[in-house]
Structure 1
Amino acid sequence: MPFAFVRIDHVQLAMPPGQEPRAVAFYRDVLGMEHVPKPEPLASRGGVWFRAGAVTVHLGVEPDFRPARKAHPGIAVTGIDDLAAALEAAGHAVRWSDELPDVRRFHTDDPFGNRLEIIDAGAP
């Protein structure tokens, strides 16, 4: 092949119009991601961007928004138990899964109902 895949640059999720403050409250304040300013002309469309390490999440506005209940990003983290506790303390359900042997993981939802899979990356 004359090309090669290098990495996933970002994951795009959708959110309802006007809900940027709720996105910031979850992705920045609960998950601890950096809120990254969107460049123009993209910023005028609404939505918000976040980054933590090599993980980048973009939330775009959809007027007829429906949450992604099955499709989801799988995000590997260290300190998975601490993240689960922070989510629960902020009122977000944590649903642990034991379906994959030797993989510690759980699912949670962002404030808009988008499914997120959190996978234990092991010790830092």
Structure 2
Amino acid sequence: MTQEALGYALGGLHHVQLAIPPGTEELCRDFWGGVLGMTELKKPPTLAARGGCWFRGGGLEVHLGVEEEFRPNRKAHPGILVTSLQALATRWEDHGVSVTWDDNFPGHNRFYAFDRLGNRLEFLEPVRDR
């Protein structure tokens, strides 16, 4: 059965949430705001009391939520589309973040990296026809 037949439709992804340990918001601000160049969003007061921080950039929203018994995601990850993937990789490497290139996803160039807390991230750019 299709979504329409069921009376609803999925409309896109609103945000991705990643866990962070307590007290690491400044490290996240440096990484997501400073290195990636995303804009920090003001959290609603009821949610701000829980800690964490939110960022937006390029149509993507990332929520970083405090998890008391934090364990970084080593396998699960967001797959983020990028324009000028090589420029992003260079910026990350300039900031001490190593990237691992992987050519096993048809039609895309991509690399994996880990944020400063060990969460896995994937960045992809479609290969243009030549």
TM-score range, shorter chain: over 0.9
**Partner SS, residue 92 of structure 2:** helix
Q: Which runs of 5+ in 1 are unaligned?
A: none
1:109 equivalent in alignment to 2:114:
yes
Question: Using the alignment, how far apart are the partners of 2:126 and 2:68 within structure 1?
Answer: 35
CA-based RMSD of the aligned residues comes to 1.2
**Partner SS, residue 45 of structure 1:** coil
Question: Using the alignment, how far apart are the partners of 1:11 and 1:46 within structure 2?
Answer: 16
Q: Which structure would you say has the larger Rg?
A: 2
Question: Using the alignment, how far apart are the partners of 1:39 and 1:4 within structure 2?
Answer: 27
**Partner SS, residue 107 of structure 1:** strand
Task: Give the CA deviation at 1:101.
Answer: 2.8
Question: Using the alignment, how far apart are the partners of 1:53 and 1:77 within structure 2?
Answer: 9
In the alignment, which residue of structure 2 is the partner of 1:16?
Answer: 21
Identity %: 49
TM-score scaled by length of structure 1: 0.95
Task: Give the CA deviation at 1:91.
Answer: 0.5
Residues 37 and 3 (structure 1 numbering): CA distance in 2 closer, same or farther, change over 3 Å? same
In the alignment, which residue of structure 1 is the partner of 2:68?
Answer: 63
Maintained 8 Å contact 2:107/2:127: no
Which structure carries more helix by proportion? 2
Match of 2:83 among 78, 83, 86: 78
In the alignment, which residue of structure 2 is the partner of 1:120?
Answer: 125
Asked which structure has the greater RCO (Cα within 8 Å, sep 6+), the reply is 1
Greater than 4 Å deviation, 4+ residue runs: none
Residues 122 and 100 (structure 1 numbering): CA distance in 2 closer, same or farther, change over 3 Å? closer
TM-score scaled by length of structure 2: 0.91
Maintained 8 Å contact 1:77/1:122: no
Q: Which runs of 5+ in 2 are unaligned?
A: 1-5
